[in-house]
Each structure stands twice: as C-alpha cells, then as structure tokens.
Amino acid sequence: MKGEDESRNWEFKMPRLVKFSAIVSAIALFFLSSPVFAATPRAVRSFNEAVQTKTKDFSEQTLIEAEFYDENLKGADFHNANLEGAVFNGSKLLNANWQGVNFQNGIAYLTDFTGVDLTNAILTEAMMLRSTFDQATITGADFTNAVVDSLQKRKLCERASGINPTTGVSTKESLACR
C-alpha cells in the first residue's frame, strides 16, 4: 500500500514539475534572448565600450564585435578598420568607405551597402542576408564562404574583379561566379 501511495503522489507532483519547468524556461528565454538588444534602436555597443556614432570616422579602428543597429552611416569612413564579428542590423552605409576592412565572421542583416567602396575588403564567412550592394565597388574584395542573397550575388558577379592583396583570392573566385 505504501508503494501505491508514493506512486500516486509522484503522479500528482509530475504535472506541477512540468508546468514549473516550462514557466522557468520561458522566463529565461525571454530575458536572455538577443532581441532585447535589437529592440533598442540607434543603440551602438562595442565589446569593451560604447562606440560613439556622432563621428563618422572609424578608419583604422579596432571595432571587433561592435554592434550597429538602425544606424545612418551614410558616407562613414571605415577604411582599414578591424570589424571582425561586428554586427550591422538595418544600417544604411550609402557611399561609405570600407576599403581594406576586415569583416570576417561579421553580420550585416538588412543593411544597405549602396555605393560602398569595398576595395580589398575581407568579408570571409560573413552573413549578409537581405542586404543590398547596388553600385558597390568590390575590386579585390574577398567574399569566401560569405552568405549573400542569390540575386545580390549575381549582381556582384557582374562587376567582380581583382585579387585581394591580403588573402590572395580573386573576387570572382570568392563569389563562386560562373
């Protein structure tokens, strides 16, 4: 009889444990998920300190894992900047200077690269989905293993030329142009 009471008691407690566990998991996911950061428009965060976007001169700076959300960076100068693992989400980079930028493992989602000079930029393994590259200069840019929307990739292949001086990879080869 004692064994039956214990098993009934366990059966009664089990649904409570499952509900409690589900509630705790949901709360943890809500507070620990990254969209909380994305919900702060115009926020710019860096791994070590905040990056001030009042200036548009980021040339030759180390901005590893910097985050730019919904920023208007039209005409900004990033030449020779280290942007490894940086995030550009919904940013406008119209006519910006990205010559020689290192954007390895970076993320550019819904970012406008219209007219950006990507000469000799390293964009290897970058995720650049839903981003546009109209009239961007890509001479010597290395897109090896970068993820770019197929329509954008076709457009980039039409004007791909040059060899990246750092990686030694041709732009056409890095985009797998046919």
- pLDDT digit string, tens, across residues 120-178: 999 999 999 999 999 999 999 999 999 999 999 999 999 999 999 999 999 999 999 98
Say which residues have a Cβ less than 8 Å from residue 6's Cβ, sequence separation at least 6: none
Order the strands of the 147-148 sheet from edge to edge: 44-45, 67-69, 87-89, 107-109, 127-128, 147-148
Longest Cα–Cα distance in the chain: 83
Among residues 144, 139, 175, 135, the alpha carbon closest in space to that of 157 is found at: 175
pLDDT confidence band for 95 (50 / 70 / 90): very high
Number of Cβ atoms within 10 Å of the Cβ of 70: 16
pLDDT confidence band for 80 (50 / 70 / 90): very high
Report whether pLDDT(86) > 80: yes
pLDDT confidence band for 42 (50 / 70 / 90): very low
Q: Which residues face 148 on adjacent strands?
A: 128
CATH architecture assignment, domain 36-178: 3 Solenoid (2.160)
Residue 6 has what pLDDT? 53
**What is the rounded distance in angstroms from the CA atom of residue 131 to the CA atom of residue 101?**
17
- Give the tens place of pLDDT for each residue, 43-74: 344 433 444 456 789 999 999 999 999 999 99
The full set of domain ranges for the chain reads 2-33, 36-178
